[in-house]
Chains A and B, each alone.
Chain A
């Protein structure tokens, strides 16, 4: 636990000390800010503010955002040879992977928390559905955890950051648009299975509309656990390959 905390602190320090992370954050806030203002203008005198607007937007942005955040996590260490050093240190493989993953998730959490400013504004000018909004934020936080875990997994497979980003991007696209693939197949059962495998399917049909389903939480937690576990196995394999 102590080792995980050390890795986490080192990694989050790298995020917060990197100008690129702030530029990414600025782009993130610009996009969400424009979306919020657009909805606000459309809502005046006509409809309540959409409680899940920002999380729904993030559900698609994360396909691009998660690979960018995670691509360097382990791939850079491998390329620069520092992973070998880490592996010889008195730190377990799981501490390395989990610490790095948690740092990426924490960075995203900070950005997500910044978007709560929109909700504070919403509360001050109208009567938004706060519980619905908080539910959708919980959903997108778990969704992001799953997306970042997948990114961490692919970052552990190669020393090439671009390749790691590309592989996680492709995987996230498949997991996001899996329901679109399910629309191509004519078999309803198969379409149902495909839909239930997608990241989007577990967000749009529940958190986004104000429902909290235990199965969705288990799904995202499951993706995180499996992806991180495989990443740990891959890192561990360097010891006996």
Chain B
């Protein structure tokens, strides 16, 4: 401060201010350059630094000259400069090598090398007209996961010659973009695959659940993406069937959503309306689903369905047991007769009661016997996985013609102890079901799911004696219910064949050769003998030193 109270700075103070400015500017320049490259901030900080050191040189020229020409300064400057150059060389080498992405897979299972089935999928990507984008969401707390996942993504990116692009999105920084994927992100799915359209927009986006088997999971989903849009499944809605949009317990939205997430197109259709307008089921129909219809089909509706099947259509029928005069596929109904005549399958008038293989009651039957020699049954009743069984609350028995007009077969049967209940009134109104041969009840092993295939027309049929298992409330308890439906759709549409992906097998196996005694020996040697030996050597050295 001067005598008048104003601020007065000496040349020395201005010079020191210049040093401070210059140093701070230099640090900010380096930090800013590392963070954002040659940005406005970097240039501004660099200018500040130059101005600062300029002020120093201007106001304290002697000190400035002495610092630059002194012996200590020469040596320390040389040391700092050579260190800076060395750091620069190392950083440059690191960046070059990082960009070159030189990676070696050290695992015995070659987990970081694309297997032949994966390369086949990548080949299909290369042949495809559209590029694919993998969009992966990671926030700043998930960088380590990103580092691991990135190694797999790069494998696909490189193998596809850049046709697969990987884009990382921070959901915290781009909440708008993340909102589009909110439902899946909430379920822990953070990777998505989409086609890139000509205008740069994304289409046919499907989730890629990552659970640890990255290569297999990414390949499988890419195969599904490539197949997406090729298959259209229609839900019959004119027979008062399950609603595929309804997300209540009695709706069928869960299965509909799963199909859509797997790239299948789903649409409603009404056989009655088609019959009335003299139209046919669309050409693009890969399959038709008739889920829990509440009335019989008319002759006109059967005709529409027949026309579709004659040109190679596929139909999934889930015919429930209901106490009604207008029962769908009643024994003497037009459609039941049609199915018997054309496919050798028909519904009976019996409800299956199974004392040996059932859930909460004997009419809540479990899949006692599964025929695994077909695409539909191979994932049901897997050993040691009770959730893969199928459970029907009330199931109708299906009769399978053993001398059929086309190929047919059974998928699921009840146990040999089961019997067929014919008194539906007693069962539905009083929950009473006892075996009574005088009322026509029959002891037998009954079919509850069957299939038929006409190799002349390529028509496929799956007939199930229950409809409830498709509802949101039942479809995943047990999980086998969903498997039965989805594998049926996969077989009928050809979707399974299209996206079939055989994952590699892994060579590493659990430790199995160790007995209790061997474990003790190993523990004694590694925990006692090895460290103990070093301690003894330490003791010997110490004793020798103290004696000297």
> Residues of A with Cβ closer than 8 Å to B?
17-23, 25-27, 29-30, 33-34, 36-37, 40-41, 43-49, 114, 117-118, 121, 125-132, 134-136, 179, 182-183, 185-193, 195, 201, 204-206, 209-215, 218-219, 222, 225-226, 229-230, 233, 236-237, 240-241
Cβ of B534 and Cβ of A29 under 8 Å apart?
A: yes
Chain B residue at smallest Cβ distance from A20: B538
Query: Which residues of the other chain, A, contact B86 by a CB distance below 8 angstroms?
Result: 225-226, 229
Task: Report the minimal beta-carbon distance from A100 to chain B, rounded to whole angstroms.
Answer: 19
Task: Report the minimal beta-carbon distance from A12 to chain B, rounded to whole angstroms.
Answer: 15
Query: Which residues of the other chain, B, contact A41 by a CB distance below 8 angstroms?
Result: 519
Query: Which residues of the other chain, A, contact B356 by a CB distance below 8 angstroms?
Result: none
Cα distance A225–B89 when bound, in Å? 11
Query: Which residues of the other chain, A, contact B172 by a CB distance below 8 angstroms?
Result: 186
Query: Which residues of the other chain, A, contact B94 by a CB distance below 8 angstroms?
Result: 215, 218-219, 222
Cβ of A211 and Cβ of B511 under 8 Å apart?
A: no
Cβ of A127 and Cβ of B507 under 8 Å apart?
A: yes
For the complex, is B523 an interface residue (Cβ under 8 Å from A)? yes
Task: Report the minimal beta-carbon distance from B453 to chain A, rounded to whole angstroms.
Answer: 42
Query: Which residues of the other chain, B, contact A37 by a CB distance below 8 angstroms?
Result: 519, 522-523, 526-527
For the complex, is B187 an interface residue (Cβ under 8 Å from A)? no
When A26-B534, A27-B531, A214-B100 are in contact, do A135 and B106 touch as well, CB less than 8 Å? yes
Task: Report the minimal beta-carbon distance from B312 to chain A, rounded to whole angstroms.
Answer: 48
Cβ of B511 and Cβ of A192 under 8 Å apart?
A: no
Segment touching A, from B141-149, B203-211, B325-333, B456-464: B141-149
For the complex, is B537 an interface residue (Cβ under 8 Å from A)? yes
Cβ of B538 and Cβ of A36 under 8 Å apart?
A: no
When A125-B513, A233-B79, A236-B79 are in contact, do A212 and B526 touch as well, CB less than 8 Å? no
When A201-B144, A226-B90 are in contact, do A193 and B531 touch as well, CB less than 8 Å? no
Query: Which residues of the other chain, A, contact B170 by a CB distance below 8 angstroms?
Result: 188
Task: Report the minimal beta-carbon distance from A192 to chain B, rounded to whole angstroms.
Answer: 6
Residue-wise interface mask of B (153-178) relative to A, using a CB-CB cutoff of 8 A (1 in contact, 0 not): 00000000000000010101100000
Query: Which residues of the other chain, A, contact B173 by a CB distance below 8 angstroms?
Result: 186-188
Cβ of B104 and Cβ of A212 under 8 Å apart?
A: yes
Cβ of B112 and Cβ of A210 under 8 Å apart?
A: yes
Cα distance A98–B100 when bound, in Å? 31
Cβ of B510 and Cβ of A186 under 8 Å apart?
A: no
Q: Can you give 6 contacting A-B residue pairs, CB < 8 Å?
A: A49-B511, A114-B530, A135-B106, A189-B35, A190-B140, A240-B75
B residues 25-62 in Cβ contact with A at 8 Å: 34-35
Cβ of B514 and Cβ of A195 under 8 Å apart?
A: no
Chain A residue at smallest Cβ distance from B507: A127
Per DSSP, are chain A's interface residues mostly helix, strand or loop, or mixed?
helix
Residue with the highest number of chain A CB atoms closer than 10 Å, among B82, B102, B141, B172: B141
Chain B residue at smallest Cβ distance from A239: B75
For the complex, is B76 an interface residue (Cβ under 8 Å from A)? yes
Cβ of B534 and Cβ of A129 under 8 Å apart?
A: no
Task: Report the minimal beta-carbon distance from B183 to chain A, rounded to whole angstroms.
Answer: 23
Query: Which residues of the other chain, B, contact A23 by a CB distance below 8 angstroms?
Result: 534-535, 538
B residues 80-139 in Cβ contact with A at 8 Å: 82-83, 86-87, 90-91, 93-94, 97-98, 100-109, 111-112, 138-139
Query: Which residues of the other chain, B, contact A36 by a CB distance below 8 angstroms?
Result: 526
Query: Which residues of the other chain, B, contact A25 by a CB distance below 8 angstroms?
Result: 531, 534
Cβ of B138 and Cβ of A188 under 8 Å apart?
A: yes
Chain A residue at smallest Cβ distance from B150: A205
B residues 206-248 in Cβ contact with A at 8 Å: none
Cβ of A210 and Cβ of B534 under 8 Å apart?
A: no
Query: Which residues of the other chain, A, contact B179 by a CB distance below 8 angstroms?
Result: none
For the complex, is B541 an interface residue (Cβ under 8 Å from A)? yes
Query: Which residues of the other chain, A, contact B34 by a CB distance below 8 angstroms?
Result: 193
Cβ of A210 and Cβ of B144 under 8 Å apart?
A: no
Cα distance A135–B106 when bound, in Å? 6
Which of B104, B140, B512, B539 contacts A45 (CB under 8 A)? Answer: B512
Task: Report the minimal beta-carbon distance from B82 to chain A, rounded to whole angstroms.
Answer: 7
Chain B residue at smallest Cβ distance from A240: B75
Query: Which residues of the other chain, B, contact A135 by a CB distance below 8 angstroms?
Result: 104, 106
With A22-B535, A22-B541, A230-B83 already in contact, 19 other A-B pairs whose C-beta atoms are closer than 8 Å? A21-B538, A25-B531, A34-B527, A40-B522, A126-B510, A131-B106, A179-B143, A182-B140, A188-B170, A188-B173, A193-B35, A210-B105, A211-B104, A211-B105, A214-B97, A218-B94, A222-B93, A229-B82, A233-B82
Cβ of A47 and Cβ of B510 under 8 Å apart?
A: yes
For the complex, is B518 an interface residue (Cβ under 8 Å from A)? yes
Which of B87, B109, B532, B545 contacts A226 (CB under 8 A)? Answer: B87
Query: Which residues of the other chain, B, contact A192 by a CB distance below 8 angstroms?
Result: 143, 146
Task: Report the minimal beta-carbon distance from B166 to chain A, rounded to whole angstroms.
Answer: 14
Cα distance A152–B16 when bound, in Å? 35
Cβ of A205 and Cβ of B144 under 8 Å apart?
A: yes
Residue-wise interface mask of B (496-530) relative to A, using a CB-CB cutoff of 8 A (1 in contact, 0 not): 00000000000111111110001100110011001
For the complex, is B426 an interface residue (Cβ under 8 Å from A)? no
Cα distance A219–B106 when bound, in Å? 19
Query: Which residues of the other chain, B, contact A131 by a CB distance below 8 angstroms?
Result: 106-108
Cβ of B83 and Cβ of A205 under 8 Å apart?
A: no
Cβ of B106 and Cβ of A134 under 8 Å apart?
A: yes
Cα distance A241–B76 when bound, in Å? 9
Cβ of A188 and Cβ of B106 under 8 Å apart?
A: no
Cβ of A26 and Cβ of B532 under 8 Å apart?
A: yes
